[in-house]
Every structure is written in C-alpha cells, then in structure tokens.
Amino acid sequence: MATQQRGSKQSQEAKSKPVHEIRLGKIKAAIWANETDTGIRHNVTLGRLYKDGEEWKTSATFGREDLPLVGKVADMAHTWIFQHAGDHGELNT
C-alpha cells in the first residue's frame, strides 16, 4: 500500500509544472515551488535544449560555449525567486 501511495505522489509531481521558466537561446531554467514544513521553497532545474531529428529534448550537460548563458539564466532565476518570495511565503535568507 505504501508503494501505491509513493507511485501516486510521483505521478502528481510528474504532472506538476514549474511556477516560472526562463530561457535564453538553448538554455532554460525551470523554477519549482516545493511545499515544506516551513513554507514554500524554490528549486531550479537547468537544461540545454537540443533537437534530435524532429523531436526537442533537454540535456543537463553543457558545453564550454553554453556556460555564459547558464550563468545568466541562473542569475535571472535567482532574481525571480527573490522578487517572488513574498508571494509564496519563502524567507529572503
């Protein structure tokens, strides 16, 4: 029964969407709101978009030329989280 509950929770999480996305070129940040015992906390996933045939995919690896945009997108995500922390109860600490 616990396995069913875990699977159900994972299904819900898989269907959830980020609260905000930032994209510069091929580099994308997804900002997620996560409920904790102390309130909402934000996490960020970074990815590089690429096309495999006709299908768009995301990779978590970056080449040397990607790194400047990774830094900019991460900084933009950081700024967004601090600007919206009050909206979700997150402390600015």
Q: What is the pLDDT along the chain (93 residues), one digit of tens a residue?
A: 444 444 444 445 556 899 999 999 999 999 999 988 988 899 999 999 999 999 999 999 999 999 999 999 999 999 999 998 765 555 544
Instruction: Give the up-direction half-sphere exposure of residue 45: CA atoms within 13 A in the CB hemisphere.
Output: 13
pTM across the whole model = 0.74
* pLDDT score, position 20: 97
Q: Are 39 and 88 in contact (CB under 8 A)?
A: yes
> What is the pLDDT at residue 74?
98
Residue 65: per-residue pLDDT: 97
- Number of Cβ within 10 Å of residue 80's Cβ equals 18
Three-class SS state of 77 = helix
Confirm if 44 and 19 have CB atoms less than 8 A apart. no
